[in-house]
């Protein structure tokens, strides 16, 4: 079996020029990142919105004392990361990475924890317009519109919880294996055998450490795996097969029940 190259860990770089202030409450940082780039776990004192104009990201985030959650971020989605949340980023496909850093004075009230936002075409264009903006009045207007679009954006429960770092290592290994290939096995028993545990033991660990059953957790993993494929234009039938579904119709029914829209809604629109 071919071994994948190790992820390329990169430094965060100088942050002072991107740190938001009361005078400049919204800061934009743009980076072009090759696949397998990895930012080690870190924190910021301010909130941020992680988004990519193209490519796919995996964002892992956790507040102090809370379970870690992993988010798969295609270009149609963004992850809001609250101030102080410990997080790491892994680039799954070459990404044009956009990060908005936000001052406490403009953080939407009541926004705690991390969440996935739907990125509207307007929000996408506003973020691009901030790049290189040197006019203070225009920057204020663009920033106000960015914040308004963020507040109006729909949220989706697309995070996949992972065990805390001090949790059961077998559960952690099983969860990471499913995230890498959710279609490889459909039942918990086969996955449990891989990590040297019984199905009953792993079912109990899912309940005690993640507060959910395996099937409910796996559905979130399937959605996280399927969305980037759909965003890249992969046919629905191929996505269904890659996520372990025997038929396109069964996958589509699950997807629509969870997301409110059929899979084709998340594919690129043809001219």
Go through the domains of the chain in sequence order and give each one's CATH number.
8-156 (2.60.120.810), 167-266 (1.10.10.60)
pLDDT at 13: 58
Q: Cα(52)–Cα(97) distance, rounded to whole angstroms?
A: 4
Mean pLDDT over 48-53 rounds to: 92
For residue 2, is pLDDT > 50? no
pLDDT of residue 110: 85
Q: Write down the mean pLDDT value for the chain.
A: 86
Residue 261 to residues 79, 89, 195: CA-CA distances in angstroms?
20, 28, 35
pLDDT at 187: 85
- Token readout for 169 is 């290592």
Is the confidence at residue 3, as pLDDT, over 50? no
């Amino acid at each position: 079996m071919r071994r994948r190259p190790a992820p390329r860990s990169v430094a965060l770089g100088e942050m002072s020029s991107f740190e938001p202030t009361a005078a400049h409450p919204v800061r934009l940082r743009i980076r072009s990142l090759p696949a397998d780039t990895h930012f080690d776990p870190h924190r910021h004192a301010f909130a941020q919105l992680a988004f990519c104009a193209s490519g796919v990201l995996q964002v892992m985030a956790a507040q102090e004392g809370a379970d870690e959650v992993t988010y798969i971020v295609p270009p149609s989605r963004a992850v809001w990361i609250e101030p102080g949340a410990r997080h790491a980023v892994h680039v799954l496909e070459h990404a044009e990475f956009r990060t908005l850093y936000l001052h406490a004075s403009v953080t939407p009230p009541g926004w705690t924890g991390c969440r996935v936002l739907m990125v509207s075409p307007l929000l996408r264009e506003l973020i691009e317009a901030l790049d290189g903006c040197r006019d203070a009045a225009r920057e204020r207007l663009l920033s106000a519109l960015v914040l308004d679009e963020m507040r109006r954006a729909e949220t989706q429960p697309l995070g996949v919880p992972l065990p805390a770092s001090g949790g059961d290592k077998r559960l952690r290994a099983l969860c990471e294996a499913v995230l890498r290939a959710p279609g490889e096995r459909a039942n918990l028993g086969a996955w449990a055998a891989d990590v040297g545990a019984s199905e009953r033991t792993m079912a109990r660990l899912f309940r005690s450490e993640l507060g959910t059953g395996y099937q409910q957790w796996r559905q979130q993993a399937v959605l996280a795996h399927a969305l980037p494929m759909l965003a890249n234009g992969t046919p629905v039938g191929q996505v269904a097969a890659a996520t372990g579904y025997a038929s396109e119709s069964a996958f589509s029914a699950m997807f629509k029940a969870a997301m409110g829209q059929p899979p084709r809604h998340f594919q690129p629109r043809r001219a």
